[in-house]
Structure 1
Amino acid sequence: MKLCLTLICAVLLSTEAKTVHKHIAVDLCSDTDQQSLYGLDGEELWYADFEQGIGVLTIPQFADPSSFEEGAYENSVINVEICKQNLAKTIAANNNPAELTDAPQSSLYSKDDVELGSNNTLVCFITGFYPPRIGVWWTKNSINVTGGVSFSRFYPLSDGTFNLISRLSFIPEKGDVYTCTVEHASLDRHLTKTWDVQEALPNVGPIAFCGVGLGVGLIGVIVGIVFLVKGKKCN
Structure 2
Amino acid sequence: MELYIIILTLTVFSTDAEFEHEAFQFISCSNTEEQFYIGYNEEELWHVNFDQKTGVLTSPNFTGPMAFDEFYNRGVHAMVVCRSNLHNFKTGLENPPPEMDAPQTSIYPKDDVHLGVQNTLICHVTGFYPPAVSISWNKNSVNLTEGMSLSQYRPKTDGTFTVFSTLKFTPIEGDVYSCTVNHRALNGKPKTKIWDVDLALPSVGPAVLCGVGLTLGLLGVAAGTFFFIKGKNARDN
Q: If the TM-score is normalised by the length of the shorter chain, which range does it land in?
A: 0.5 to 0.7
Q: What SS does the corresponding residue of 1:192 show, helix, strand or coil?
A: strand
Opposite residue 186 of structure 2, the aligned amino acid is: L
Give distance in 2, aligned partners of 1:184 and 1:203.
36
Tell me, yes or no, if structure 1 residue 162 matches structure 2 residue 161: yes
Unaligned runs of 5+ in 1: 1-93
Q: What SS does the corresponding residue of 1:132 show, helix, strand or coil?
A: coil
Over 3 Å counting, the alpha-carbon distance change for 1:228 and 1:160 in structure 2 is farther
Q: CA deviation at 1:151?
A: 0.5
Q: CA deviation at 1:227?
A: 7.9
The C-alpha deviation readout for 1:100-145, integer Å capped at 9, x for no partner, is: 1111111111112222222111110111111111111011111111
Q: What SS does the corresponding residue of 2:184 show, helix, strand or coil?
A: coil
Tell me, yes or no, if structure 1 residue 103 matches structure 2 residue 98: no
Give distance in 1, aligned partners of 2:231 and 2:171.
57
Tell me, yes or no, if structure 1 residue 187 matches structure 2 residue 189: no
Give distance in 1, aligned partners of 2:141 and 2:231.
69
Give distance in 1, aligned partners of 2:156 and 2:172.
36
Q: CA deviation at 1:232?
A: 9.4
Give distance in 1, aligned partners of 2:157 and 2:228.
70
Over 3 Å counting, the alpha-carbon distance change for 1:191 and 1:224 in structure 2 is same
Q: CA deviation at 1:199?
A: 1.9
Q: State TM-score, norm by structure 1.
A: 0.53
Q: State TM-score, norm by structure 2.
A: 0.53
Give distance in 1, aligned partners of 2:102 and 2:231.
75
Opposite residue 125 of structure 1, the aligned amino acid is: H
Tell me the percent identity: 54
Give distance in 2, aligned partners of 1:130 and 1:140.
28
Q: CA deviation at 1:198?
A: 2.0
Over 3 Å counting, the alpha-carbon distance change for 1:229 and 1:183 in structure 2 is same
Give distance in 2, aligned partners of 1:111 and 1:212.
32
> May I ask how many residue pairs the two structures share in their alignment?
142
Give distance in 1, aligned partners of 2:101 and 2:149.
24
**Corresponding residue for residue 147 of structure 1:** 146
Opposite residue 138 of structure 1, the aligned amino acid is: W
**Corresponding residue for residue 210 of structure 2:** 210
Opposite residue 197 of structure 1, the aligned amino acid is: V
Larger mean Cα displacement after TM superposition, 200-209 or 131-140: 200-209
Q: Which has the larger radius of gyration?
A: 2
Q: CA deviation at 1:229?
A: 7.1
Opposite residue 215 of structure 2, the aligned amino acid is: G
Give distance in 1, aligned partners of 2:214 and 2:119.
33
Give distance in 2, aligned partners of 1:109 and 1:172.
13
Give distance in 1, aligned partners of 2:229 and 2:116.
52
Unaligned runs of 5+ in 2: 1-92
Calculate the aligned-residue CA RMSD, in Å.
Answer: 2.5
